[in-house]
Structure 1
Amino acid sequence: MYNDILLDFGLNTADYSISSFGSGLINHTLKVSGRGEDFILQQVNTDIFKSPGDIADNIVSIQQYLKQIAPDYLFVSPLLANNGTTLVKSSNGEVYRLFPFVKNSHTVDFVNDEKQAYEAAQQFGRFTRLLKDFDIASLKYPLSDFHNLNLRWNQFITACKNAEKSRFDTAFAEIKQVHEHQDILKTYNQLIEHNEIPLRVIHHDTKISNVLFDDQQNGLCVIDLDTVMPGYYLSDVGDMMRTYLSPANEEETDLDKICIRENIFVAIHNGYLSEMGDALTQAERRHFTFSGQMMIYMQAIRFLTDYFNNDVYYGSRYTGHNLMRAKNQLKLLSEYKKTVAGIKL
């Protein structure tokens, strides 16, 4: 089924084997191997990314800029197809792109130790630092209002009003918790409405699997640039806090397993500031810890909103799945607030 797609990229399918690759949930990713070389073939999820051309334009702009100011930086960008662009459309309308496979590199799905957390945070910090003077106005928004906490709050309030009574009643305790943490929304709105922190070029999806490592567990670069767009550093730092700190992920149903690994928090802080320390404003430094609160809180709200909306966005593998995800994130938020407050940096 991929014959025509690979031919559009100049590859004869008779010479290559294709296998599933990675753990990404949004785009469908495959590894193409043969003739002593490897590639990554990816189908763009156009249900999520309505304008894949915007992503392609952003990547090209950033690639050209980095070639000028940091030519040695490893930037993994899509390859050109026969049509002169990086995107190829199949006969049934699916959109594909092809990446070079970086030899002697690998990804990880879970933060096992401080070194991984430090290296990942350093790579995301380096990416934003290198682009600190980039013309941010030239970037497009593949996902508008992606990390807009105020918007997510308003969607939550609307979903509460429209929820089935049975779902509303079942989640009453979680609704109460969301309101109890409303100080986070207040702080966020103050920062944004008063322009206390600047817009930057932000990755927006800083899970550990979006970093390439070498065999010595040194970070090489960041990958999966679909969500790169103007944003606030809170998003990148906060998403690392949300996804790195607990040994249990957002799918864990045993809430007693959710806790904060203080050493990982310190590693994220030190890794990110090793690159962005001189670039951050005083307001950004003051709200470094707050970034974790914001992103965990927002994800809890989004899961609960989807539960009230009958699981139309994240889907549900069992009854009450998104409610359990919200419980998970609210427990993480409580542990984060309690634990991080006592960490001296």
Structure 2
Amino acid sequence: MFDQILPLYGIQPVESDVQLFGDGLINRTWKVTHQGKGYILQQVNQSVFKKPHDIDQNISALKSYLSKTHPEYLFVSPLQGLSGQSLIETPEGYFRLFPFVENSHSLNVLNKKEEAYEGARQFGRFSKLLNDFDVKQLHITLPDFHNLTLRFEQFANAVTHASGQRKEKAKDLIAFIMAHMDIVTTYKNIVERNEIPLRVIHHDTKINNVLFDQQNKGICVIDLDTVMPGYFISDAGDMMRTYLSSANEEETDLKKVNVRKDFFKAIYDGYMEEMGDVLTPAEKNYFIYAGKFLIYMQAIRFLADYLQNDIYYGEKYEGHNLNRTKNQVTLLEKYLELEPELEEVIGKIAIQ
């Protein structure tokens, strides 16, 4: 495969070292080293991203805009092949080649609040720099990705058609989801009343989508396939879902699932350092809601998949998605319990 792809970029395979890279779950990724230079070769997962050209056009439009308005920003975009195209179609699928950012690294686990701060600041900076970009220029690369109204409808349909056995095992989780439908109602109001604006949103703010320098300071964000129009609650909420707990979504010992208040403050501080002058008053009022929005949505996605016999996420062991749901429900419960204290954190910052 590499013998056919690399020459399309002027890279000789016999002079190159190619190794699998990273632990991404969607696209296949390799690091290519050629004549002392590093590159990242990536194959687009077409079962997830149905229109790779839409992603390519989005990234090209953002690159053009940032090169004119903020040329100092490191925007990691695909290199052009010999054909002049940055998305190469082959019999094996679609490929992109990125420059490897030397002296950089990414994190898979957050151990320090300072890392959460840096991650939040970088995602905030990304949206801030693109604040004046016409979001209507962007294609929707994953339709309804964070549409909570639709996700709840899919969940309700899964409950209706689930087997009696699975429904019985999940009855307490189903009851919890139904008891917190106000989270869905709030989202519906946001959309129907146009309460907050659409922005250029990353939509996948896991910490491993931030590049850090050798001093563990944030450099830029990467993995731009999900960049599309959206609400800030998607980015802020995904950071809370993935940064707040010292245990990830795979943890089955629910006593380890927690909400670190100092990490919440770090997320708020980092994101608002960049976006504080950009967000509207209405958006700022929804900052804490963002966490509820994303944690709740992920819980119902895991639970819907369990009720539908694990057709989307799959399962590595029996009851995998049921355990993932319990994990996210526990995280949401603890988040809701701390909500008054989180309000106090934001209030104290606001009056400083």
TM-score range, shorter chain: over 0.9
Measure how far apart 1:248 and its partner are: 0.4
Trace 1:326-341 onto structure 2 (pairs within 5 A).
326-341=325-340
Determine the C-alpha separation between the residues in 1 that align with 2:283 and 2:254.
31
Q: How many residue pairs are counted as aligned between the two chains? A: 344
SS at match of 2:341: coil
SS at match of 1:341: helix
Determine the C-alpha separation between the residues in 2 that align with 1:130 and 1:144.
24
Determine the C-alpha separation between the residues in 2 that align with 1:232 and 1:309.
29
Give identity over the alignment, percent.
53
The aligned residue for residue 270 of structure 2 is 271
Deviates more, 1:224-233 or 1:26-35: 26-35
Measure how far apart 1:112 and its partner are: 1.1
- Contact 2:199/2:229 (<8 A) preserved: yes
SS at match of 1:196: coil
Determine the C-alpha separation between the residues in 2 that align with 1:83 and 1:143.
28
Determine the C-alpha separation between the residues in 2 that align with 1:113 and 1:286.
27
**Is residue 9 of structure 2 the alignment partner of residue 21 of structure 1?**
no
SS at match of 1:342: helix
Measure how far apart 1:83 and its partner are: 2.1
Which TM-score applies when normalising by structure 1?
Answer: 0.98
The aligned residue for residue 214 of structure 2 is 215
Q: Deviations over 1:284-314 (max 9, x none)?
A: 1011011000000000000011111111111
Determine the C-alpha separation between the residues in 1 that align with 2:339 and 2:202.
24
The aligned residue for residue 288 of structure 1 is 287
For residue 4 of structure 1, what is the amino acid of its counterpart? Q
The aligned residue for residue 137 of structure 1 is 136
For residue 34 of structure 2, what is the amino acid of its counterpart? G
- Contact 2:11/2:34 (<8 A) preserved: no
**Is residue 160 of structure 2 the alignment partner of residue 164 of structure 1?**
no
Determine the C-alpha separation between the residues in 1 that align with 2:340 and 2:317.
35
The aligned residue for residue 298 of structure 1 is 297
- Contact 1:32/1:40 (<8 A) preserved: yes
Determine the C-alpha separation between the residues in 2 that align with 1:223 and 1:340.
31
Determine the C-alpha separation between the residues in 2 that align with 1:222 and 1:52.
20
**Is residue 104 of structure 2 the alignment partner of residue 105 of structure 1?**
yes
- Contact 1:306/1:313 (<8 A) preserved: yes
Deviates more, 1:179-188 or 1:41-50: 179-188
User: Any gaps of 5 or more consecutive residues in structure 1?
Assistant: none
SS at match of 1:195: coil
Measure how far apart 1:183 and its partner are: 1.3
- Contact 1:55/1:226 (<8 A) preserved: yes
Determine the C-alpha separation between the residues in 1 that align with 2:10 and 2:161.
52
CA RMSD of aligned residues (A): 0.8
The aligned residue for residue 123 of structure 1 is 122
The aligned residue for residue 89 of structure 2 is 89
Q: Deviations over 1:245-272 (max 9, x none)?
A: 0000000011110001111100000000
For residue 118 of structure 2, what is the amino acid of its counterpart? E
The aligned residue for residue 55 of structure 1 is 55
Determine the C-alpha separation between the residues in 1 that align with 2:149 and 2:91.
40
The aligned residue for residue 32 of structure 2 is 32
Measure how far apart 1:340 and its partner are: 3.6
The aligned residue for residue 248 of structure 1 is 247
Q: Deviations over 1:138-165 (max 9, x none)?
A: 1100101100000000000111111111
Trace 1:232-247 onto structure 2 (pairs within 5 A).
232-247=231-246
- Contact 1:262/1:340 (<8 A) preserved: no
Which TM-score applies when normalising by structure 2?
Answer: 0.96
Determine the C-alpha separation between the residues in 1 that align with 2:82 and 2:305.
41
Measure how far apart 1:95 and its partner are: 1.2
Determine the C-alpha separation between the residues in 2 that align with 1:5 and 1:315.
31
Q: Deviations over 1:19-43 (max 9, x none)?
A: 1111210111110013111000011
Measure how far apart 1:91 and its partner are: 2.3
The aligned residue for residue 349 of structure 2 is none
Deviates more, 1:335-344 or 1:124-133: 335-344
Determine the C-alpha separation between the residues in 1 that align with 2:108 and 2:153.
32
The aligned residue for residue 145 of structure 2 is 146
Determine the C-alpha separation between the residues in 1 that align with 2:165 and 2:237.
33
Q: Deviations over 1:206-265 (max 9, x none)?
A: 000000000001100000000000000000000000000000000001111000111110
After the TM superposition, which parts of structure 1 deviate over 3 Å for at least 4 consecutive aligned residues?
A: none
Q: Deviations over 1:181-203 (max 9, x none)?
A: 11111111111111111000000
